[in-house]
Amino acid sequence: MHVLILGGTSEARRLADVLAADPALRVTSSLAGRVAQPRLPAGEVRIGGFGGPEGLAAWLRAHAVDALLDATHPFAERISRNAALAAAGTGTPLLALRRPSWEAREGDRWHPVPSLAAAAEALPGLGTRVFLTTGRQGIAAFAHLDGLVFLARSVEPPVAPMPAVTEVLLERGPFTLDGERELLRAHRIEVLVTKDSGSAATAPKLTAARELGLPVVVVERPPAPAGVRTAPDVAGAADWVRRLAG
C-alpha cells in the first residue's frame, strides 16, 4: 500500500517514522522545499511542488498512491485545498492531520484576529516592541508599520519587504520556557504576534507572555476544506492508514 504524506511538520515526520516501520506500507513524504536543510523523515522523500491540484492528481495516479495524508502546517491553506481537490478527482482516500488549536488560559491577554493584515491593524496601541513569530513569509504584512521595533523569529531568512526596524532571529524550535522568558525580557518585548499553529514546540512563548502580562495577537487558522476527514494526532492518523490497509 503506497501512502503519500504531505509533510514539513514535526507530526508529519513522526507519522512517517511510524508508518515506514510497517513492511506492508510504502511511505513517501513530500516536502515543499522552502527550507534549505529540512529534517528528513523515514521512507522515500520528494521535494518541490506538484503544480496545483491537477499536478498532484497526476502524481497520485502515476505513482499508484492508495492513501493521501495532509500533514502540512495548519496555515498551509493552498496545499490543503489542492489535496482535497486532487483526492476527490482521483478517488484517493484523504485524511488531514490537524493538531488542536491553542486554548487561552486564565491570565492570557489574547487578541484573536482573522488574518495577518488584521494583526498589523491591531498592533498600534498594544505596544511598540513587537515579537513577531509568524514565519518568514508573514513578516511582509507588517512592513508598513512605522514607529514600532520588531524582533522577528524564523527558520529561514525573511525577504523584503520588512518593517524599517527589524532584528531577525534565525532559530528552529522546540523552544524552552526558560529560553522564552529570557528572550522576552532581554528584548523588552511589549506584545507578541503569533499564528495559532497549536504546536507544543512553540507554545512556551505563550506561557512566558502570560507570566509577564503581555498582550498576544493570535492569528486564527483558515478553515479546513469542507468534507475532509481529520485526525488530531499521529496515532489517529496511523490507525486510519492501518484500517485502510486491512
Q: What is the DSSP string of 104-137?
A: --TT-EEEEESSHHHHHHH-TTT-SEEEEES-GG
Q: What pLDDT is attached to residue 36? A: 61
Q: What pLDDT, on a 0 to 100 scale, did the predictor assign at position 159?
A: 85
Q: Domains in the chain and their CATH numbers?
A: 2-100+225-245 (3.40.50.720), 109-219 (3.40.50.720)
Task: Tell me if 227 sits within 8 A of 166, measured CB to CB.
Answer: no
Q: What is the pLDDT of residue 224?
A: 82
pLDDT at 38: 73
| pTM assigned to the model | 0.86
The closest alpha carbon to 132, from 57, 187, 191, 204, belongs to 191
Q: What pLDDT sits at residue 122? A: 96
Q: Quick one: pLDDT at residue 207?
A: 97
- CB burial of 159-172 (b: ≥16 within 10 Å; e: otherwise) equals eeebbeebebeeee
What is the per-residue pLDDT for 35?
A: 64
User: What is the full per-residue pLDDT of the chain (246 aa) written as tens digits?
Assistant: 999 999 988 899 999 999 999 999 999 999 987 666 677 899 999 999 999 999 999 999 999 999 999 999 999 999 999 999 999 999 999 999 999 999 999 999 999 999 999 999 999 999 999 999 998 889 999 999 999 999 999 988 998 899 999 999 999 889 999 999 999 999 999 999 999 999 888 899 999 999 999 999 999 999 889 899 999 999 999 999 999 988
**What amino acid is encoded at 67 in this protein?**
A
Rounded to whole angstroms, how far apart are CA atoms 17 and 224?
Answer: 25
CA–CA gap between residue 160 and residue 163 (Å, rounded):
9
Q: What is the pLDDT of residues 56-80, one digit of tens each?
A: 999 999 999 999 999 999 999 999 9
